[in-house]
Structure 1
């Protein structure tokens, strides 16, 4: 998915009392929508956000980040969302 190619960063500080932060270029969503269909762009961005949520859970649980696994889990969740939307029609 193209969402993984975007610049972005989840920052989980070593000190758990400091609030983590998530940075990503929200303005790019408009370019993505103009280049791709709206539904494809939304799925890309949902995958991107889901990936960072998995990173956040790793940080919260004090686990080592596993980018490959988190990407796979985010992809799986997006495919489940797509299947759910198809069944709604």
Structure 2
């Protein structure tokens, strides 16, 4: 399955606790779309969130975000894992 990294730009910063709650909501929605949100990273002061996800396609990954909490990614890239 393709691997994607998405990026969210949140004006005014973001709280790690809020991102954790959004990630939990993603995990509750993801199975019906064949998506698996793996990890996320947060830069609170910069207002940036990065999500790593296995998904059939970028739109499926964004659909999970949209239905789980409404915060779709501003950017999404297909990536390959390296060491």
TM-score if structure 1 supplies the norm length?
0.27
Greater relative CO, 1 or 2 (CA 8 Å, sep 6+): 2
Larger strand proportion, structure 1 or 2? Answer: 2
Q: Which protein shows a greater Rg?
A: 1
